């Protein structure tokens, strides 16, 4: 999709592998972004590994 200022983005669930393919075809004219759902899941996984699961969530309450 294009933004209001004309920037083009490809949103993918596997942005790291798609990024190289998009760059080969479009060079720097198109940016590749990971979809928000996968970013949130990745962040949640990091937090879960750094803490003991729900202890972190209980501390936020």
Nearest-5° Cα angle at 15, 11 to 16: 160
Q: Residue 44 sits in which domain range?
A: 8-60
Q: Is residue 31 assigned to a domain?
A: yes
DSSP letter for 45, please.
Answer: H
Task: Tell me the pLDDT tens digit for each residue of 3-16.
Answer: 667 777 777 777 67
The total number of structural domains that make up the chain: 1
Q: Is residue 16 assigned to a domain?
A: yes
Least trusted range by pLDDT, from 12-16, 32-36, 44-48, 56-60: 56-60
Tokens of 6: 């004309």
The model's pTM = 0.40
Q: Is residue 2 assigned to a domain?
A: no
Q: Is residue 3 assigned to a domain?
A: no
Q: Is residue 44 assigned to a domain?
A: yes
Q: Is residue 17 assigned to a domain?
A: yes
Tokens of 57: 């969530």
Q: Is residue 12 assigned to a domain?
A: yes
């Amino acid at each position: 999709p294009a933004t209001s200022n004309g920037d083009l983005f490809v949103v993918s669930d596997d942005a790291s592998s798609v990024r190289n393919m998009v760059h080969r075809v479009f060079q720097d004219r198109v940016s590749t972004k990971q979809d928000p759902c996968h970013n949130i899941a990745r962040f949640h996984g990091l937090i879960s590994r750094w803490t003991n699961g729900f202890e972190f969530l209980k501390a936020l309450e």
